[in-house]
Amino acid sequence: MRSSFKLELAEARAMAQAALKKAEELRVPETVCIVDDGGYPIALERMDAARITGPQIAWNKAFTAAGHKRSTHLFTTPPAGPALPGNEAFGIQWSFEGRFAAFVGGFPVVVDGEVVGGVGLSGGNGERIRSAGSPRSRR
C-alpha cells in the first residue's frame, strides 16, 4: 500500500481565490472549478458578470486535466496534439458524454509528482486563462 496526498477544501478554496484574484487583475470575468483526483468538484466559483455556461465548462476542463493528468491545451497543440485531426486521439472530446475538454483552461494539480486534482477556468481567452490558472497548478 502507498500513501497519497488528497486535495482538501481549504486548499481548493485558496487556489480558486488566487485564480479569481488574477482574473480580477486582468479584468476578465471567470469561473474557476477545482476538482479532486476523481474529477469531482471541491470548489466552484463564478465571478459576477461571468458567463452562465462557465461553471460546466470549468468543471469539464478540471475533470479532463485531473483524469488525463495533463493540461487540456496540450490535446490540440500543433503539430502533435493527440486530439488534432489525423492523430491518435482525434474525437476524444466526445468521450465521457462530451465532458472531455480539449482546449485551453484545464490544468492538473501536481504535488510531489502526483496528480491530486485539477483546475478549470472559463471566461477569458487562452493567454489570460493560462495566466490566471497555470501558476496554481504547480508546486
69-123 residue pLDDT tens: 999 999 999 988 998 999 898 888 888 888 899 999 999 999 999 999 999 999 9
28-51 residue pLDDT tens: 999 999 999 999 999 999 999 999
8-state DSSP, 112: T
Domain annotation covers residue 2: no
Question: How far, in Å, are 15, 32, 122, 124 from residue 21 at the CA level?
Answer: 10, 11, 14, 14
Domain annotation covers residue 86: yes
Q: Is the dihedral of CA 15, 93, 71, 114 positive or negative?
A: positive
Q: How many domains does the chain have?
A: 1
Domain annotation covers residue 66: yes
Distance, in Å, from the CA atom of 119 to the CA atom of 12, rounded to the nearest integer, reads 9
Q: Residue 81 is part of a domain; what is its CATH number?
A: 3.30.450.150
Helix/strand/coil percentages in the chain, nearest 5: 40, 20, 40
Backbone phi and psi for residue 29, each to the nearest 5 degrees, phi listed first: -70, 115
Domain annotation covers residue 1: no
Domain annotation covers residue 3: no
Domain annotation covers residue 118: yes
Domain annotation covers residue 26: yes
HSE-CB of 14 using CA atoms within 13 angstroms:
9
Domain carrying residue 31 = 9-137
Indicate the residue type of 74: L
